[in-house]
Structure 1
């Protein structure tokens, strides 16, 4: 059987987590998908998938084979224009990001990248949940965090400053907090974590934290921002999300003498070895893009 097609079938199964979904995407019968998968497992000499009643998942051999299949397909796709410099950024990049970051920054950055590198294509997958880069076929995940996993390969692209803010209507009704301890008595809109939310600050060379709570929590910062504008409560938001709203007076900055904990903006990928030129170019482009935006702090200033 055609091993290029078998590799394509295996990649689709891994990305979609279903042989049925892979068959539909490839316009192929389920029986043919099964045959190609069997061919791949025979070729690899190992079981590539764990099968359960709910979902397929990759075995250890499957993860290794998936990376090799992607490399093989990328090579096969480049054969139609062998005259191109192999260092020229080209081909498809799959990028994962949160909703707010995609809408507020990455959409413009990606558009600029595509103008500079017309042989590339971008698939931007927007989701607030963490992604499995290998299983979901993601080349690059952009995340704002200080909690990278020990085995993650990441490049720091920028530093995210945050601001405590509230609408004038909320402050008129509930008063202004005079220090960070006062926040514990206010309706603070929080991200959806287990247990109490701790907002961390630095002031006069000292770090401190305050436990906050309120009547709205969410894993989507845009929902908390919208509620803050409506006067529901106090919110801790990235500077890039609220700078224009504070300038217009829709929101007011609170406790400016206290610096909320800074977070890193990272590009997370699977391997430093054999990095495709398009991915390397995208990381360089994003580093420059964030550095030119005054609402973000350059990575080197962290």
Structure 2
């Protein structure tokens, strides 16, 4: 006897409190429902329902078995949903959000390549360094650089984000290059955001140190920080995914390469694993493959 159907019958009887009503809903005879119920009780090796002339209720064994039975039915529904969607071409609108700098440096090109493979998918990309409310803003996917994840969201790691201290050749000609982390206290430094404190947190040879500095320029946008560093305003901390062309062309120079900044995770963030649109599921898989590796592809290019 089909065990999956037997589980479905058991859950239906428990929800409706009646073999007759369950039989009507499942379009089975009452005798067939009884046989399926007997089969599932044999399978579990315990009586699952108290049955009287007036009502039906779960036994202690039935209460213990019910969560697993419901989960089995949910997993089955998801598998059927995935199988049905795999047979068709993904289509529809995907609303994606990320930071401006990551969109410019990495994500936009990736989304364009994804659309070349799936021409019926329309993408709306919004940029912001602030965490979006996925529900209120109707966002399907957020790609965020953070080590602080919302436990109510579903996340999938895509890559790791390293950062480095850098400056323009012109700035170094005027002010010289720092030789140690403590030398940063004598330099003009650019803050990536307001309220982060007047300090750099760096690690060298497994030892973490905090270096107090005075910010000469503040910005909450990575693209602006990069432009300020390129213009010779001072030393800045920038993500490596954004620096490849500048370093190779000599427009920027890495400072204190023996010192490492904190590493951030790059995550795909979305609302639920259940009944995902096919386009969203394929996009997350595409990005995970595109950005895979440690170091990430952009860091491999730098090496």
Query: Same fold by TM (over 0.5)?
Result: yes
* Cα offset, 1:274, TM superposition: 1.9
Q: Flag the 1:183–1:139 CA change in 2: closer, same or farther, 3 A.
A: same
Name 2:297's counterpart in structure 1: 294
The alpha-carbon deviation at position 282 of structure 1 amounts to 0.8
Give the deviation of 1:152 after TM superposition. Answer: 3.2
SS at match of 1:94: strand
- Aligned match of 1:264: 265
The question of 1:107 aligning with 2:108 is answered yes
Residue-by-residue CA offset, 1:139-166 (whole Å, 9 max, x unaligned)? 0111111222343321110011111100
Question: Structure 1 CA distance, aligned partners of 2:147 and 2:161?
Answer: 10
Aligned partner of residue 298 in structure 2, secondary structure? coil
Match of 1:244 in 2: 245
Q: Which moved more, 1:105-114 or 1:202-211?
A: 202-211
- Superposition TM-score, scaled by structure 2 size: 0.66
Indicate the residue corresponding to 2:139 in structure 1. 138
Distance 1:195 1:238, change over 3 A: closer
SS of the residue corresponding to residue 295 of structure 1 reads helix
Q: Which runs of 4+ in 1 moved over 4 A?
A: 83-88
Cα deviation 1:93-115 (Å, max 9, x = unaligned): 10011111111111110011111
**CA 1:198 to 1:149, structure 2 compared with 1: closer, same or farther past 3 Å?**
farther
1:84: how far off?
Answer: 6.9
Quote how far apart the aligned CAs of 1:289 are.
1.4
2:67 aligns to what?
none
Aligned runs of 1:78-157 on 2, under 5 Å? 85=86, 88-157=89-158
Which residue number corresponds to residue 210 of structure 2? 209
In the comparison of the two structures, how many residue pairs are matched?
215
- Cα-Cα RMSD: 2.0
Distance 1:84 1:148 in 2: 29
Larger radius of gyration: 2
Task: Judge conservation of contact 1:199–1:212 (CA < 8 Å) in 2.
Answer: yes
Gaps of 5+ in 2: 1-83
The 1:168/1:263 distance shift into structure 2, 3 A limit, reads same
* CA distance, structure 1, for counterparts of residue 179 and residue 106 of structure 2: 33
Alignment of 1:198-237 (within 5 A): 198-237=199-238
User: Who is 1:64 aligned against?
Assistant: none
For residue 10 of structure 1, what is the aligned residue in structure 2? Answer: none
Give me the TM-score of the superposition, normalised by structure 1. Answer: 0.66
Question: Do the aligned partners of 2:105 and 2:242 also contact (CA within 8 Å) in 1?
Answer: yes
Cα distance in 2 between the residues matched to 1:146 and 1:296: 19
